[in-house]
């Protein structure tokens, strides 16, 4: 679910709804001169520009300043200039250019020490890194102002790697590189930071698989569509199994190998283990990746079926949905190196 992003004096956090946003403003967590990014938007606006917040922002910003003679908008415009100047100095301190990057530049900030567009800047103090999204076992921490490579997105979490530390961090604990870019550049690179908004399950259907004795197996037939200009990979699917009343019985995750090419869709299928190779395992692939494998070894066609079979632990299965749980957008320079599509 998309969220409101808030940047208050360099600290970034989020709100799920406008009501939560209003409560944060009322509690003084941010003020009229801080900036907000509406859900799904690329542009940032001043909090004071949002009509819903005008009645809950701190009262000291509601009336003209008698001593200075400046009204609210004037003072916040000045505050915005000062804030941007401070942000510029802060960015420069990290070796970043104060000029907005060209949309065709593959690094938002050029140079050896610049923040790459495939990186995030840590704002948590420190940021916890977890083995799975949602918290739980902690895999380590990342110090404030350090950098991490972006490996994927899962809900309100990014999967990142910094040195030997790899795992999930809260989106609110980091700032993506494109935060420092202009509007057109943010629009262009948005799929890198919000890939789950561009990959969808298309034309899905399911059916029970007969002849499995007491093993309850369901088969999903579907395609994955990619509406972005970036390739997408490292997809993990989430199958939610329900009973006749719509109650959730269990959730299964399925990793998918292969690349979904930009602005395209691909069938998903299953490659059975090679009976001649004891180490071989079942694999779920994009159809395009399977086609490439078949060009090398035509015999793999005997082990290929469209769709994904999922064995269930529960009984009473009567319905299911399948969604994209996690995905990574592929940087352009990686595209030739990846097989499948």
Domain boundaries, the chain: 4-93, 119-193, 197-337
Q: Which residue has the higher pLDDT, 271 or 95?
A: 271
| pLDDT the model gives residue 270 | 92
| pLDDT the model gives residue 210 | 61
| pLDDT the model gives residue 87 | 41
Using alpha carbons only, give the angle 146, 152, 158 rounded to the nearest 5 degrees. Answer: 50
| CATH tag, 119-193 | 2.30.30.40
Q: How far is the CA of 113 from the CAs of 91, 102, 108, in angstroms?
A: 12, 18, 12
Answer yes or no: is pLDDT of 176 > 80.
yes
| pLDDT the model gives residue 261 | 92
Confidence of residue 97 (pLDDT cuts 50, 70, 90): very low
Q: Identify which of 44-53, 76-85, 179-188, 195-204 has the greatest average pLDDT.
A: 195-204
CB 119 within 8 A of CB 148: yes
Answer yes or no: is pLDDT of 193 > 70.
yes
Q: Which residue has the higher pLDDT, 66 or 303?
A: 303
Q: In the chain, what's the furthest Cα-to-Cα distance?
A: 85
Answer yes or no: is pLDDT of 197 > 60.
yes
Mean pLDDT of 259-288: 92
| pLDDT the model gives residue 335 | 63
| pLDDT the model gives residue 44 | 74
Q: Which helix or strand (DSSP H or E) is residue 287 part of? A: helix 287-296
- Which residue shows structure tokens 């100095």? 89
Q: Which residue has the higher pLDDT, 160 or 83?
A: 160
Q: Identify which of 177-181, 245-249, 318-322, 333-337 has the greatest average pLDDT.
A: 245-249
Mean pLDDT of 115-135: 85
Mean pLDDT of 322-334: 87
Which tokens is 102 given?
């060209």
| pLDDT the model gives residue 296 | 93
Least confident stretch, 43-47, 131-135, 200-204, 264-268: 43-47
| CATH tag, 197-337 | 2.60.40
| pLDDT the model gives residue 5 | 83
Mean pLDDT of 68-87: 40
The Cα 9–Cα 28 span in angstroms is: 13
Q: Which residue has the higher pLDDT, 136 or 325?
A: 325
């Amino acid at each position: 679910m998309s969220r409101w992003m808030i940047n208050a004096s360099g600290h970034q956090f989020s709100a799920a709804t406008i009501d939560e946003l209003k409560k944060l403003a009322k509690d003084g967590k941010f003020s009229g001169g801080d900036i907000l990014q509406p859900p799904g938007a690329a542009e940032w606006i001043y909090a004071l520009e949002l009509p819903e917040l005008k009645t809950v922002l701190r009262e000291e910003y509601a009336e003209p300043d008698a001593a200075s003679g400046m009204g609210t908008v004037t003072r916040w415009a000045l505050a915005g200039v000062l804030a941007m100047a401070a942000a510029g100095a802060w960015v420069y301190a990290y070796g970043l250019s104060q000029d907005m990057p060209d949309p065709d530049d593959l690094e938002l900030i050029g140079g050896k020490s610049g923040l790459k567009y495939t990186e995030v800047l840590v704002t948590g103090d420190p940021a916890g890194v977890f083995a799975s999204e949602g918290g739980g076992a902690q895999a380590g921490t990342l110090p404030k102002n350090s950098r991490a490579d972006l490996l994927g997105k899962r809900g309100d979490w990014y999967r990142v790697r910094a040195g030997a530390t790899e795992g999930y961090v809260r989106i609110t604990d980091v700032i993506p590189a494109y935060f420092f870019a202009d509007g057109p550049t943010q629009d262009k690179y948005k799929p890198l930071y919000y890939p789950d908004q561009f990959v969808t399950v298309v034309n899905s259907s399911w059916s029970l698989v007969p002849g499995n004795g007491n093993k309850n197996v369901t088969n999903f037939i579907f395609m994955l569509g990619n509406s972005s200009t970036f390739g997408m990979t490292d997809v993990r699917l989430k199958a939610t199994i329900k009973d006749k009343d719509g109650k959730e019985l269990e959730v299964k995750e399925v990793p998918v190998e292969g690349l979904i090419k930009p602005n395209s869709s691909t069938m998903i299928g299953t490659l059975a283990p090679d009976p001649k190779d004891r180490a071989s395992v079942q694999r779920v692939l994009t159809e395009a990746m399977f086609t490439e494998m078949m060009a090398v070894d035509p015999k793999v066609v005997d082990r290929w079926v469209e769709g994904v079979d999922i064995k269930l632990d529960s009984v009473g299965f009567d319905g299911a949905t399948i969604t994209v749980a996690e995905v990574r957008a592929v940087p352009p320079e990686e595209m030739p190196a990846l097989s499948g599509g």
